[in-house]
Copies of this chain bind each other. A is one copy, B any other.
Amino acid sequence: MDKEKTGEFTIGALARRAGVGVETVRYYQRRGLLAEPQQTRGAYRVYGEAELARLRAIRRAQQLGFSLEEIDGLLALNADRDREHAREAAQAKIALIDSRIRQLEEMRDALAELVDCCRHTSAPSPCPILRALSND
């Protein structure tokens, strides 16, 4: 079943098309994020375009910063009736991302300051980075 009939995949073929691992597909199924296909060929499950689309949507949402739990919620929304919910979810995610960016910037600035200090002092004096860790 390596010879894919259009729109019919084994789990391995589906995984490759979606850019994930076989184990990942099984994991999503186990947690209910992806349905097991009704169709089988012998003992093997046969996946269709719907499952591939679903996997791609999951990946896209992950790239936007959503967790699998959040993605489950998002993919349960109806594009016509739940506009407000989706927008709220996106805005909440934006706020979290912004907050994290600020946090990282503070870290970066603190480190940059220490490195700069390191540049302007010479070898006989102790390392300002290590001293900053050691002192109050």
A contacts, CB < 8 Å to B: 53, 56-57, 60-61, 63-65, 74-75, 77-80, 82-83, 86-87, 89-91, 93-94, 97-98, 100-101, 104-105, 107-108, 110-112, 114-115, 118, 123, 126-127, 129-134, 136
B101 x A108 contact (CB < 8 A): yes
Write out the residue numbers on chain B whose beta carbons fall within 8 Å of the beta carbon of A93: 111
Please, which residues of chain B bring their CB within 8 A of the CB of A64?
Answer: 107, 110-111
Name the residue on B nearest A101 (C-beta): B104
Complex CA gap A100/B101 in Å reads 8
Majority secondary structure, A binding face: helix
Task: Answer whether A65 and B134 are a contact pair too, CB < 8 Å, given A77-B127, A123-B83.
Answer: no
With A64-B107, A111-B64 as contacts: A130 and B94 at CB distance below 8 Å? no
A94 interface neighbour in B83, B89, B108, B123, Cβ under 8 Å: B108
Q: Is the CB of B131 within 8 A of A79?
A: yes
Question: Bound state CA distance, A13 and B80, in angstroms?
Answer: 57
- Residues on B with C-beta less than 8 A from A86 are 118, 127, 129-130
Residue of B123, B126, B134 near A53 (CB, 8 A) is B134
Question: Ordered nearest first, which 6 A-B pairs have the shortest CB separation?
Answer: A79-B126, A79-B130, A83-B127, A57-B133, A86-B129, A65-B107
